[in-house]
Amino acid sequence: MRKIVRVILILLLVALVAIQFIRPPKNVSEGIAENDMSTVYTIPDSVRSLLKVACYDCHSNNTRYPWYWQIQPVMWFMNGHIKEGKRHLNFSIFTSYRIGKQYKMF
């Protein structure tokens, strides 16, 4: 019985090490996108800084990643979360949305 447990633990460790090499692409872009919300709408500095800290990581094309993002399967979870957030609202392409959708989200 102990031998089976040891083999299972070794296989789990090997699998954990192996998945570290399967990495999704990072969500990083250079500068402010031309369709970014801040290029068209005037946003107060206090609101802009709050959006940058609380929202832009998951709802834009530029994410600041924490240190633990480098560890699998956390990377996969966060990548899925970012994709889902951008699917619902992406500040980097906000002005390319229909006007009705922009006002609904604003």
Chain centre to alpha carbon of residue 33: 16
- Nearest CA among 95, 105, 18, 87 for reference residue 79: 87
Question: Any idea how long the chain is?
Answer: 106
Scored b (16 or more CB within 10 A) or e, 14-27 reads: eeeeeeeeeeeeeb
pTM: 0.78
pLDDT digits (tens, 9 = 90+) for 5-56: 999 999 999 999 998 898 888 888 777 778 888 888 888 999 989 988 898 8
Looking up tokens 């834009």, which residue turns up? Answer: 60
